[in-house]
Structure 1
Amino acid sequence: MENRRAIEWSEAAWLNQPEAVLADGNNLLVTARGGSDFWRTTSYGFVHDDGHALLTDFPTEAAIEVGFVAAFEQLYDQAGLLIRVDEQTWIKAGVEYTDGVPHLGAVVTHGRSDWSMAPVPDWAGRDVTLRASRSGDAVTLRARCEDEPWRLLRLAPLAPDAEAAAGPMCCAPTRSGLTVRFTSFAVTTPDPSLHLN
């Protein structure tokens, strides 16, 4: 049985303060600083650990959900969810603008980052929800647009004894002025299995 609780924005703490944060009803409008990102080394040769994330504790046998709407216009504009242990161990998942369209993707980092993605052009400007379910030695990442079915995005390792935090994330690596509307932030029970159907 699902046990869901909304997380108040004030319950979480910022990793790297954004350019601006504004409460709008139950939503939170976050404007990213230009040049912000999370990435470690692979292919590009640089390390960025200055993206914005509003983090709360993420214990085992729990799931964190983050909802958002954003108008992505420039290369690498991104929003979603970050799971963080430390600067070398983290996972981000969400929607990122590349090759002219939004892509659903994930970056898993254990010392060095990787990146997987798939185009979702019909998700542009719509409400997207990311869910990270932590159980045992793994995190299962799922995403959906509005009330569409959940899509399995990634299964990633995360040590059961790792002290992790998770929450809404956004970055604007190539420009200033990206504002993301975060529409939900909640903790719930993890998905019962890797395959829901």
Structure 2
Amino acid sequence: MDQQHELDWNDAAWLNPPLATAVDGTDLLVTTRENTDFWRTTGYGFVRDDGHALLTALPADAAVEVTFLARFDTLYDQAGLMIRVDERRWIKAGVEWTDGLPHLGAVVTHDRSDWSLSPVPDWDDRLVTIRASRAGDAITVRARTEGHPWRMVRLAPLPPTASATAGPFCCSPQRAGLQVRFTRFALGPADKALHEDPGT
């Protein structure tokens, strides 16, 4: 959206710094540490909170966008956008490698995590944008690839009084060394309506 303003990578702070970062022009290149993830209990029985997230304040009535490119090839490789209140309340949305394909998905955590996903084989090795819009008591998550319309990913609760942060995230639960190129990090006004296309 033309009302968004792009953030400098230095305008945010790392939760769990990655193995390596580098600035390439205006892009941020991130390399993950070994066996990193965000998850709480459900189905797997463990709690993980050591993935990498570069976070800045997400006030009420704001939207955040992250664009990235990654070559996933190992089970559970993932990258996208995180919205976080604390270690027990957070949302991550993006692309994750599972069953030999990239999947568009989201995990919403309120003490325990859930997981929803859908295969997007044509999104492999393409620029992906994830958008989270905060309005009222909800977060609306959308995603798209360059030149294609937005897809609705998730509508999830987030208390309007909660102090939240948001920004790009990535992790690699089965290895080290996933490399992600983040090309954009922007903040702007929340979407006007749940079913309205937020535009370009």
- TM-score, reference length from structure 1: 0.98
Report the 3-state secondary structure (helix = DSSP H, G, I; strand = E; otherwise coil) of the residue aligned with 1:68: strand
- CA deviations 1:135-174 (Å, max 9, x no partner) are 0000000000112000000000000000000000000000
Aligned structure 1 segments of 4 or more residues deviating by more than 3 angstroms? none
CA distance in 2, matches of 1:188, 1:148: 21
What does residue 151 of structure 1 align with? 151
For the pair 1:160 / 2:160, whether they are aligned, the reply is: yes
The 8 Å contact of residues 63 and 189 in structure 1, kept in 2 or not, is answered as: yes
Report the 3-state secondary structure (helix = DSSP H, G, I; strand = E; otherwise coil) of the residue aligned with 2:10: helix
The 8 Å contact of residues 2 and 189 in structure 1, kept in 2 or not, is answered as: no
CA distance in 2, matches of 1:32, 1:189: 31
Q: Structure 1 counterpart of 2:93, which letter?
A: A
Q: Structure 1 counterpart of 2:50, which letter?
A: D
Q: Structure 1 counterpart of 2:52, which letter?
A: H
Identity percentage over the alignment? 64
CA distance in 2, matches of 1:176, 1:87: 22
The 8 Å contact of residues 76 and 96 in structure 1, kept in 2 or not, is answered as: yes
Q: Structure 2 counterpart of 1:68, which letter?
A: F
Q: How does 1:8-157 map to 2 (within 5 A)?
A: 8-157=8-157
User: Structure 2: which 5+ runs fail to align?
Assistant: none
CA distance in 1, matches of 2:96, 2:177: 15
- CA deviations 1:99-120 (Å, max 9, x no partner) are 0000000000000000000000
Q: Structure 2 counterpart of 1:172, which letter?
A: S
CA distance in 2, matches of 1:3, 1:146: 19
- TM-score, reference length from structure 2: 0.97
Q: Structure 1 counterpart of 2:98, which letter?
A: T
User: Structure 1: which 5+ runs fail to align?
Assistant: none
For this pair of structures, how many residues does the alignment match?
Answer: 197
Report the 3-state secondary structure (helix = DSSP H, G, I; strand = E; otherwise coil) of the residue aligned with 1:147: coil
Q: Report how far residue 45 of structure 1 moved.
A: 0.1
CA distance in 2, matches of 1:168, 1:196: 24
CA distance in 1, matches of 2:84, 2:196: 26
What does residue 195 of structure 1 align with? 195
